[in-house]
Structure 1
Amino acid sequence: MHNISNFMHHHFDKPVDELGDIEKRVLAKTHERKIISTDVNAAFSAEASFGERVADGIARVGGSWSFIIAFLAFLAVWTIINTIILATGAFDPYPFVFLNLILSMIAAIQAPIIMMSQNRQAERDRFEAAKDYEVNLKAELEVLSLHQKIDMHVLTELTALREDVARLSAALTAKS
Protein backbone atom coordinates (compact mmCIF):
# COMPACT_ATOMS: atom_id res chain seq x y z
CA MET A 1 0.00 0.00 0.00
CA HIS A 2 2.93 2.29 0.68
CA ASN A 3 4.05 1.87 -2.95
CA ILE A 4 0.61 2.95 -4.24
CA SER A 5 0.67 5.85 -1.80
CA ASN A 6 3.99 7.06 -3.29
CA PHE A 7 2.61 6.52 -6.79
CA MET A 8 -0.46 8.65 -5.97
CA HIS A 9 1.54 11.39 -4.32
CA HIS A 10 4.00 11.48 -7.23
CA HIS A 11 1.27 11.91 -9.86
CA PHE A 12 -1.10 14.27 -8.01
CA ASP A 13 1.25 16.18 -5.69
CA LYS A 14 -1.14 15.80 -2.80
CA PRO A 15 -1.61 13.25 -0.03
CA VAL A 16 -3.69 10.13 -0.61
CA ASP A 17 -6.41 11.18 1.85
CA GLU A 18 -7.11 14.30 -0.24
CA LEU A 19 -7.87 12.28 -3.39
CA GLY A 20 -11.42 11.34 -4.37
CA ASP A 21 -12.66 7.80 -4.80
CA ILE A 22 -12.44 8.00 -8.59
CA GLU A 23 -8.82 9.18 -8.51
CA LYS A 24 -7.87 6.43 -6.05
CA ARG A 25 -9.59 3.77 -8.17
CA VAL A 26 -7.96 5.02 -11.38
CA LEU A 27 -4.53 5.23 -9.78
CA ALA A 28 -4.87 1.72 -8.40
CA LYS A 29 -5.84 0.43 -11.87
CA THR A 30 -2.91 2.33 -13.41
CA HIS A 31 -0.48 1.01 -10.82
CA GLU A 32 -1.74 -2.56 -11.35
CA ARG A 33 -1.57 -2.07 -15.15
CA LYS A 34 -5.24 -3.00 -15.57
CA ILE A 35 -7.68 -1.46 -18.03
CA ILE A 36 -10.79 0.46 -17.08
CA SER A 37 -13.93 -1.07 -18.54
CA THR A 38 -15.61 1.31 -20.96
CA ASP A 39 -18.71 -0.80 -21.60
CA VAL A 40 -21.12 1.75 -20.18
CA ASN A 41 -24.25 -0.02 -21.45
CA ALA A 42 -23.51 -3.28 -19.65
CA ALA A 43 -22.42 -1.59 -16.43
CA PHE A 44 -25.42 0.74 -16.35
CA SER A 45 -27.97 -1.90 -17.39
CA ALA A 46 -26.72 -4.27 -14.71
CA GLU A 47 -27.88 -1.78 -12.07
CA ALA A 48 -31.36 -1.29 -13.58
CA SER A 49 -34.38 -2.53 -11.68
CA PHE A 50 -37.29 -4.32 -13.37
CA GLY A 51 -39.39 -1.12 -13.31
CA GLU A 52 -36.60 0.90 -14.89
CA ARG A 53 -36.18 -1.65 -17.69
CA VAL A 54 -39.97 -1.60 -18.29
CA ALA A 55 -39.99 2.21 -18.36
CA ASP A 56 -37.12 2.20 -20.87
CA GLY A 57 -38.98 -0.29 -23.05
CA ILE A 58 -42.23 1.71 -22.97
CA ALA A 59 -40.38 4.95 -23.75
CA ARG A 60 -38.52 3.24 -26.59
CA VAL A 61 -41.82 2.01 -28.11
CA GLY A 62 -43.89 5.12 -27.27
CA GLY A 63 -41.32 7.45 -28.76
CA SER A 64 -41.07 5.70 -32.12
CA TRP A 65 -42.57 6.40 -35.52
CA SER A 66 -43.99 2.90 -35.65
CA PHE A 67 -46.02 3.64 -32.49
CA ILE A 68 -47.26 6.94 -33.89
CA ILE A 69 -48.28 5.37 -37.20
CA ALA A 70 -49.92 2.39 -35.47
CA PHE A 71 -51.78 4.71 -33.10
CA LEU A 72 -52.98 6.92 -35.97
CA ALA A 73 -54.21 3.77 -37.74
CA PHE A 74 -56.00 2.71 -34.54
CA LEU A 75 -57.69 6.13 -34.28
CA ALA A 76 -58.72 6.02 -37.95
CA VAL A 77 -60.18 2.51 -37.58
CA TRP A 78 -62.00 3.52 -34.39
CA THR A 79 -63.61 6.58 -35.98
CA ILE A 80 -64.49 4.73 -39.20
CA ILE A 81 -66.10 1.85 -37.31
CA ASN A 82 -68.07 4.15 -35.01
CA THR A 83 -69.25 6.61 -37.68
CA ILE A 84 -69.71 4.67 -40.91
CA ILE A 85 -69.95 0.93 -40.22
CA LEU A 86 -71.88 1.05 -36.96
CA ALA A 87 -73.70 4.33 -37.58
CA THR A 88 -76.92 3.17 -35.93
CA GLY A 89 -75.53 0.93 -33.16
CA ALA A 90 -72.08 2.40 -32.53
CA PHE A 91 -70.59 1.47 -29.15
CA ASP A 92 -68.87 4.89 -29.00
CA PRO A 93 -70.87 7.37 -31.12
CA TYR A 94 -69.59 10.81 -32.08
CA PRO A 95 -68.06 12.79 -30.13
CA PHE A 96 -66.22 9.57 -29.08
CA VAL A 97 -66.36 10.02 -25.31
CA PHE A 98 -65.01 6.52 -24.64
CA LEU A 99 -62.11 7.09 -27.06
CA ASN A 100 -61.29 10.37 -25.27
CA LEU A 101 -61.31 8.50 -21.94
CA ILE A 102 -58.92 5.88 -23.33
CA LEU A 103 -56.63 8.55 -24.77
CA SER A 104 -56.59 10.45 -21.46
CA MET A 105 -55.73 7.31 -19.52
CA ILE A 106 -52.93 6.40 -21.94
CA ALA A 107 -51.52 9.93 -21.69
CA ALA A 108 -51.81 9.90 -17.90
CA ILE A 109 -49.86 6.65 -17.67
CA GLN A 110 -47.42 7.16 -20.53
CA ALA A 111 -46.20 10.65 -19.56
CA PRO A 112 -44.74 9.73 -16.14
CA ILE A 113 -43.21 6.56 -17.56
CA ILE A 114 -41.46 8.55 -20.29
CA MET A 115 -40.32 11.07 -17.65
CA MET A 116 -38.85 8.20 -15.61
CA SER A 117 -37.01 7.00 -18.69
CA GLN A 118 -35.71 10.52 -19.42
CA ASN A 119 -34.47 10.82 -15.83
CA ARG A 120 -32.77 7.47 -16.24
CA GLN A 121 -31.17 8.66 -19.49
CA ALA A 122 -29.83 11.73 -17.70
CA GLU A 123 -28.44 9.43 -14.99
CA ARG A 124 -26.89 7.25 -17.70
CA ASP A 125 -25.28 10.34 -19.26
CA ARG A 126 -23.77 11.28 -15.89
CA PHE A 127 -22.53 7.69 -15.46
CA GLU A 128 -20.99 7.77 -18.94
CA ALA A 129 -19.32 11.12 -18.23
CA ALA A 130 -17.81 9.69 -15.03
CA LYS A 131 -16.50 6.68 -16.98
CA ASP A 132 -15.04 9.01 -19.62
CA TYR A 133 -13.34 10.99 -16.87
CA GLU A 134 -11.82 7.80 -15.45
CA VAL A 135 -10.53 6.68 -18.84
CA ASN A 136 -9.13 10.14 -19.63
CA LEU A 137 -7.47 10.37 -16.22
CA LYS A 138 -5.89 6.95 -16.67
CA ALA A 139 -4.67 7.90 -20.14
CA GLU A 140 -3.13 11.07 -18.73
CA LEU A 141 -1.44 9.08 -15.97
CA GLU A 142 -0.09 6.61 -18.50
CA VAL A 143 1.32 9.48 -20.57
CA LEU A 144 2.93 10.94 -17.45
CA SER A 145 4.43 7.55 -16.62
CA LEU A 146 5.80 7.23 -20.15
CA HIS A 147 7.32 10.71 -19.89
CA GLN A 148 8.92 9.73 -16.61
CA LYS A 149 10.34 6.51 -18.10
CA ILE A 150 11.70 8.39 -21.11
CA ASP A 151 13.20 11.05 -18.85
CA MET A 152 14.85 8.38 -16.71
CA HIS A 153 16.18 6.65 -19.82
CA VAL A 154 17.55 9.93 -21.20
CA LEU A 155 19.18 10.72 -17.83
CA THR A 156 20.75 7.25 -17.76
CA GLU A 157 22.09 7.73 -21.28
CA LEU A 158 23.39 11.21 -20.42
CA THR A 159 25.14 9.84 -17.35
CA ALA A 160 26.71 7.09 -19.44
CA LEU A 161 27.76 9.60 -22.09
CA ARG A 162 29.20 11.89 -19.42
CA GLU A 163 31.20 8.98 -18.03
CA ASP A 164 32.37 8.07 -21.56
CA VAL A 165 33.40 11.68 -22.24
CA ALA A 166 35.22 11.82 -18.91
CA ARG A 167 36.97 8.53 -19.67
CA LEU A 168 37.93 9.69 -23.19
CA SER A 169 39.11 13.04 -21.82
CA ALA A 170 41.21 11.23 -19.26
CA ALA A 171 42.62 8.97 -21.98
CA LEU A 172 43.43 11.96 -24.21
CA THR A 173 44.98 13.84 -21.31
CA ALA A 174 47.06 10.78 -20.45
CA LYS A 175 48.30 10.47 -24.07
CA SER A 176 49.33 14.11 -24.27
Structure 2
Amino acid sequence: MADRVPSVAELASELLDRIGEECSPAERDVLQSLASGQHSHVHTGLGAPTTGERLADKVARVGGSWAFIISFTLILLAWMLLNTDVLKHWGLVFDPYPFIFLNLMLSTLAAIQAPIIMMSQNRQSQKDRQDAAVDFETNIRAELAIAQLHRKVDLLLDRADVEPDGRRG
Protein backbone atom coordinates (compact mmCIF):
# COMPACT_ATOMS: atom_id res chain seq x y z
CA MET A 1 0.00 0.00 0.00
CA ALA A 2 1.48 3.34 -1.06
CA ASP A 3 1.83 6.03 1.58
CA ARG A 4 -0.10 9.22 1.01
CA VAL A 5 2.19 12.21 0.46
CA PRO A 6 1.41 14.89 3.06
CA SER A 7 0.74 18.50 2.05
CA VAL A 8 3.06 21.41 2.81
CA ALA A 9 0.74 22.59 5.60
CA GLU A 10 0.66 19.10 7.13
CA LEU A 11 4.44 18.83 6.96
CA ALA A 12 4.87 22.26 8.54
CA SER A 13 2.55 21.32 11.35
CA GLU A 14 4.04 17.89 11.87
CA LEU A 15 7.75 18.65 11.47
CA LEU A 16 8.08 22.22 12.59
CA ASP A 17 5.13 22.52 14.98
CA ARG A 18 3.77 25.58 13.19
CA ILE A 19 1.44 26.51 10.41
CA GLY A 20 2.74 26.97 6.88
CA GLU A 21 2.51 30.77 6.97
CA GLU A 22 4.95 30.89 9.91
CA CYS A 23 7.68 29.08 7.95
CA SER A 24 10.63 30.89 6.43
CA PRO A 25 10.97 30.87 2.63
CA ALA A 26 13.79 28.32 2.91
CA GLU A 27 11.64 26.05 5.09
CA ARG A 28 8.70 26.41 2.67
CA ASP A 29 10.94 25.45 -0.28
CA VAL A 30 12.14 22.32 1.49
CA LEU A 31 8.61 21.39 2.60
CA GLN A 32 7.34 21.95 -0.96
CA SER A 33 10.02 19.62 -2.35
CA LEU A 34 9.15 17.05 0.32
CA ALA A 35 5.43 17.30 -0.45
CA SER A 36 6.11 16.84 -4.17
CA GLY A 37 8.31 13.83 -3.42
CA GLN A 38 11.30 15.31 -5.22
CA HIS A 39 14.62 16.53 -3.96
CA SER A 40 15.00 20.25 -4.22
CA HIS A 41 17.95 21.50 -6.17
CA VAL A 42 19.42 23.55 -3.35
CA HIS A 43 23.00 22.55 -4.05
CA THR A 44 23.48 23.81 -7.57
CA GLY A 45 27.14 24.53 -6.98
CA LEU A 46 29.02 27.66 -7.81
CA GLY A 47 30.15 26.44 -11.19
CA ALA A 48 33.74 26.44 -12.33
CA PRO A 49 35.67 29.33 -10.80
CA THR A 50 36.87 32.03 -13.16
CA THR A 51 40.54 32.88 -13.50
CA GLY A 52 40.05 35.88 -11.20
CA GLU A 53 38.31 33.75 -8.57
CA ARG A 54 41.08 31.15 -8.67
CA LEU A 55 43.66 33.93 -8.32
CA ALA A 56 41.75 35.48 -5.40
CA ASP A 57 41.63 32.08 -3.66
CA LYS A 58 45.39 31.62 -4.13
CA VAL A 59 46.17 35.14 -2.87
CA ALA A 60 43.99 34.55 0.20
CA ARG A 61 45.59 31.15 0.81
CA VAL A 62 49.15 32.53 0.53
CA GLY A 63 48.51 35.92 2.17
CA GLY A 64 46.96 34.30 5.22
CA SER A 65 49.80 31.89 5.94
CA TRP A 66 52.66 31.96 8.42
CA ALA A 67 55.08 31.35 5.57
CA PHE A 68 53.97 34.64 3.98
CA ILE A 69 54.16 36.57 7.25
CA ILE A 70 57.65 35.28 8.08
CA SER A 71 59.06 35.74 4.57
CA PHE A 72 57.52 39.21 4.26
CA THR A 73 58.99 40.20 7.63
CA LEU A 74 62.43 39.01 6.49
CA ILE A 75 62.11 41.01 3.25
CA LEU A 76 61.15 44.14 5.19
CA LEU A 77 64.06 43.72 7.59
CA ALA A 78 66.47 43.16 4.68
CA TRP A 79 65.13 46.29 2.93
CA MET A 80 65.64 48.41 6.03
CA LEU A 81 69.10 46.95 6.73
CA LEU A 82 70.22 47.54 3.14
CA ASN A 83 68.99 51.13 3.14
CA THR A 84 70.49 52.07 6.50
CA ASP A 85 73.84 50.33 6.77
CA VAL A 86 74.97 48.25 3.80
CA LEU A 87 74.33 50.58 0.84
CA LYS A 88 75.21 53.69 2.84
CA HIS A 89 78.94 52.92 2.51
CA TRP A 90 78.76 53.18 -1.29
CA GLY A 91 76.27 56.03 -1.38
CA LEU A 92 73.67 53.82 -3.10
CA VAL A 93 70.86 54.22 -0.60
CA PHE A 94 67.67 54.38 -2.71
CA ASP A 95 65.14 54.61 0.14
CA PRO A 96 66.69 56.34 3.15
CA TYR A 97 65.05 56.40 6.57
CA PRO A 98 61.99 56.91 7.11
CA PHE A 99 61.59 54.52 4.12
CA ILE A 100 58.98 56.49 2.21
CA PHE A 101 59.17 54.24 -0.87
CA LEU A 102 58.76 51.14 1.32
CA ASN A 103 55.68 52.72 2.94
CA LEU A 104 54.23 53.46 -0.49
CA MET A 105 54.78 49.85 -1.60
CA LEU A 106 53.23 48.47 1.61
CA SER A 107 50.20 50.74 1.25
CA THR A 108 49.76 49.70 -2.38
CA LEU A 109 50.06 46.02 -1.45
CA ALA A 110 47.47 46.40 1.32
CA ALA A 111 45.11 48.34 -0.96
CA ILE A 112 45.23 45.59 -3.58
CA GLN A 113 45.42 42.53 -1.33
CA ALA A 114 42.48 43.40 0.95
CA PRO A 115 39.74 43.44 -1.74
CA ILE A 116 41.20 40.31 -3.36
CA ILE A 117 41.02 38.45 -0.04
CA MET A 118 37.47 39.76 0.48
CA MET A 119 36.47 38.33 -2.93
CA SER A 120 37.75 34.93 -1.84
CA GLN A 121 35.91 35.20 1.50
CA ASN A 122 32.69 36.11 -0.30
CA ARG A 123 33.00 32.99 -2.46
CA GLN A 124 33.63 30.89 0.64
CA SER A 125 30.60 32.34 2.42
CA GLN A 126 28.47 31.59 -0.65
CA LYS A 127 29.69 27.97 -0.51
CA ASP A 128 28.92 27.87 3.22
CA ARG A 129 25.37 29.18 2.64
CA GLN A 130 24.75 26.48 0.03
CA ASP A 131 26.15 23.79 2.32
CA ALA A 132 23.92 25.03 5.15
CA ALA A 133 20.87 24.88 2.85
CA VAL A 134 21.71 21.29 1.90
CA ASP A 135 22.20 20.38 5.56
CA PHE A 136 18.86 21.99 6.43
CA GLU A 137 17.05 20.01 3.74
CA THR A 138 18.75 16.81 4.88
CA ASN A 139 17.68 17.44 8.49
CA ILE A 140 14.07 18.13 7.50
CA ARG A 141 14.00 14.98 5.37
CA ALA A 142 15.43 12.94 8.26
CA GLU A 143 12.78 14.37 10.60
CA LEU A 144 10.07 13.40 8.11
CA ALA A 145 11.45 9.87 7.80
CA ILE A 146 11.56 9.52 11.59
CA ALA A 147 8.00 10.85 11.92
CA GLN A 148 6.81 8.37 9.28
CA LEU A 149 8.57 5.53 11.11
CA HIS A 150 6.89 6.60 14.36
CA ARG A 151 3.51 6.52 12.65
CA LYS A 152 4.20 3.03 11.26
CA VAL A 153 5.40 1.70 14.62
CA ASP A 154 2.34 3.20 16.32
CA LEU A 155 0.13 1.57 13.70
CA LEU A 156 1.83 -1.79 14.25
CA LEU A 157 1.47 -1.42 18.01
CA ASP A 158 -2.23 -0.59 17.61
CA ARG A 159 -2.76 -3.63 15.40
CA ALA A 160 -0.91 -5.87 17.86
CA ASP A 161 -2.85 -4.30 20.72
CA VAL A 162 0.35 -3.47 22.61
CA GLU A 163 0.71 -0.53 24.98
CA PRO A 164 3.63 1.89 24.37
CA ASP A 165 5.42 0.47 27.45
CA GLY A 166 5.36 -3.03 25.89
CA ARG A 167 2.45 -4.54 27.85
CA ARG A 168 -0.40 -6.23 26.05
CA GLY A 169 -3.70 -4.34 26.22
- TM-score, length basis structure 1: 0.66
Residue of structure 2 equivalent to 1:164 = none
Residue of structure 1 equivalent to 2:140 = 137
In the TM superposition, structure 1's runs of 4+ consecutive aligned residues that sit over 6 Å from their partners are: none
Residue of structure 1 equivalent to 2:62 = 61
Q: d(CA) in 2 for partners of 1:12 and 1:89?
A: 77
User: Is the alpha carbon distance of 1:101 and 1:26 closer, same or farther for their aligned partners in structure 2, counting shifts above 3 Å?
Assistant: farther
Output the amino acid matched with 1:73: L
- Structure 2, gaps ≥5 residues long: 14-18, 163-169
Residue of structure 2 equivalent to 1:167 = none
Aligned to 2:108, which of 102, 105, 110? 105
Output the amino acid matched with 1:58: V
Bigger radius of gyration, 1 or 2?
1
Residue of structure 1 equivalent to 2:73 = 72
Please give the per-residue CA displacement for 1:83-111, whole angstroms capped at 9, x wherever unaligned.
22211112323222221221111011011
Output the amino acid matched with 1:74: I
- Structure 1, gaps ≥5 residues long: 160-176
User: Is the alpha carbon distance of 1:148 and 1:48 closer, same or farther for their aligned partners in structure 2, counting shifts above 3 Å?
Assistant: farther
Output the amino acid matched with 1:154: L
Q: 1:8 touches 1:27 (CA, 8 Å); kept in 2?
A: yes
Residue of structure 2 equivalent to 1:127 = 130
Give the structure, 1 or 2, with the largest relative contact order (CA under 8 Å, sep 6 or more). Answer: 1
Percent of matched pairs sharing the same residue? 43
Q: 2:84 touches 2:96 (CA, 8 Å); kept in 1?
A: yes
Q: d(CA) in 2 for partners of 1:68 and 1:137?
A: 44
Please give the per-residue CA displacement for 1:116-154, whole angstroms capped at 9, x wherever unaligned.
223333323322321221111011011011112212222
Q: 1:58 touches 1:114 (CA, 8 Å); kept in 2?
A: yes
Aligned to 2:29, which of 15, 21, 29? 21
- TM-score, length basis structure 2: 0.68
More helix by share: 1
The alignment of Structure 1 onto Structure 2 pairs a total of residues equal to 146
